[in-house]
Structures are given as structure tokens and as C-alpha cells.
Amino acid sequence: MFKFIFCLGLPLFGMAQIQVFFPKTSPKEHQRALITLANGQILSGSSEANIRLHKSNCQVQQSINLGASFKEIRDLAQTPNGFIALQSHDSSGLELLNKSLEIDTIIYPLKTRVPLFLDGICAQDNLVFLLGDPIDGYFSTFRSTDGGLHWEATPQKVSASEGEAAYAASGQTNQILNGKFFFVSGGMVSRLISSADQGATWNTSKLPYPSCPTCGPYAMAIKNEAEIMTVGGSYLEANNAQNTCFYSKDGGKTWQAPKTGPSGYRSCVIYTGKAYYACGTNGIDVSKNGGKTWKKISNVNALSMTHSNGQLYVTLADGSWLIMQQ
């Protein structure tokens, strides 16, 4: 039986915050993979390959471990068939679960010449888009039209520049909107890369992040096809507030920097319908004016976020959760 400790403290920046702890399979276990379900419940995937179904107060309603074949869960997607869990590392793979969170099958989408490192997975109904790091100069891009049961490489490959890759930080490197594929790259070159025909052709837009092996966008939030928010920086410079955010109002044709940006490196960003929230190793920021200015609302070391029913759910590096009112 799970025991929970709810720590209600004084708000750091004027917002009510509840920190939630629950038993972990190891002291270092944490959650980066989060999705909100239609009923308001939250599904999380952990660094110890545990998938947990949470109620609105973070109480664990159901838990399953994916076994020895999975070392971690870095991203999750929901389809009409159930759920897909993604593992990064050199032994990257996917595991399908049915709607009852019962393990179905393990899938390795492609046998590649060198080990495949997967960065993210996203789904819109039965359409699923899977992204991996470059192999032989091309990004690893796959699609499924039956909810992840069968996979194929996208008809056209996306060439990668020297030192360009994608980040598997919080499952927000690639997304689907209205059947269109989007992903961001970073490193020595930072780009928004998109396809209106599910990978038959691709368009690219250069992002103005600095060039370095750990620089670039680590996450994006797409409000609509015109408004796109990216956050990042470098995880080696957690407190560097320069070049941590760029946003577009014209679908990626042009990019703008905020007047006041997030207060450091950010690995996750979400749009709640009311505001943008971004989090990283030195805190959480909010923008209520479309990214023009950001305000810090917490100093916690945060990994990922989602939202449901007016509440923000943040997973922290120590394995706990933070629940905040929007």
C-alpha cells in the first residue's frame, strides 16, 4: 500500500504549492514522462521503468513495472489502442500497453547499423510520430498510422548538420498538431523542422540559439500552427538566463526573444490555455503575455510538467511532485 506525505508550505512567489512524496523503487527514481488523460488523471513514466496512474491529488491508483527489458521511461503517448512507452539509451525501444495498463508487446521500430537513441514520441489518435538522433547524417524519423502496431520510416529523411541532434529532456522535442509533424533540434545547429504531409516532405527554420554541443531548444509548446514556443539553453549552465527562449507568431518563419526571458536553462514548456509555464534545474517561470515576458514563480529543481483542471503538476529531481494552482 502506498503512503503519501503532503507538505503544504508557504508559497515562494505568491502561489499555493503542495509537495507530494510517495515511495520509490530507488532513492534516485524520478519522472520525466507525463501525459494528462481525458478524465483528468495523469500517467507518469519513471527512471526505474515504472508507469503510474495518478489521481488529481497525485495518489497512485495503479502501478506497473516494465521489467528488465526497460531501464527507464523517457516519454509516453496515448492512442486508441492504449499507451506507448519510450526508452532512450543505446537500447532504445517501445513498449505497448493496453487501456488497462497491461503489457502488450515490445517493439523496436528499426534495426539500424548503429544503436538507435530515441528522443520522443507523440500521437494524435492513431497517427504516431517517433523521433531519434541522427544516424549516418539523417534524423531517425518514423511514423505509424495504426496506433503504434506497425511502423515505417518517413518517406523522406531529414539531413542533420555536423553536431546537430535532438534532446530527450521531457518528451517535448517532437509534436503532432492537426496531422502535421514538428520537431526541434539543437547543438551546433538549432532548427524547427516540420512536415505537413507526415514526413513525405519537410520544411526547416533556423532557430537563433547559440551554437555549442549542449545548446539549443530542449522543448517546445505549440499553441496553434502560428504560435510556437521553444525553451532551452544549456544544461551545463543552469543559471544562465541568456538565450533560453525564442518564440514565433508566424509558424516559425521568424523568431523573437522575450524582453524578459526564463531565469535559466529550461527543459520543459507547456501551454495551459491561460499561460505558458517553463521549468528547469533552477526553477519554474510563467508567461501570461505569449512569451514576451516571463516571471519566476518557484526555485525548485524541476524536470517536467503537465496540467489538469486548473492545476499545474510538476515532477521534481528528488522524485516528488509539486501541485500548483494556475
pLDDT reported for residue 109: 57
Q: What is the mean pLDDT of residues 244-271?
A: 97
pLDDT tens readout for residues 33-77: 999 998 999 999 999 999 999 988 888 999 999 887 788 999 999
pTM for the full predicted model: 0.92
pLDDT tens readout for residues 86-119: 988 766 789 999 999 998 877 765 566 667 889 9
Q: Is 152 left (phi over 0), alpha (psi -120 to 50) or beta?
A: beta
In angstroms, the CA 197 to CA 232 distance is 27
Q: For the chain, what are the domain ranges?
A: 9-24+112-325
The answer to whether the CB of 258 falls within 8 A of the CB of 275 is no
- Taking CA atoms, 67 is separated from 10, 71, 106, 244, in Å, by 40, 8, 11, 37
pLDDT reported for residue 138: 96
pLDDT beyond 70 at 270: yes
Classified as helix, coil or strand, 298 is: strand
Q: What is the residue-averaged pLDDT of the chain? A: 90
Q: What is the CATH number of domain 9-24+112-325?
A: 2.130.10.10
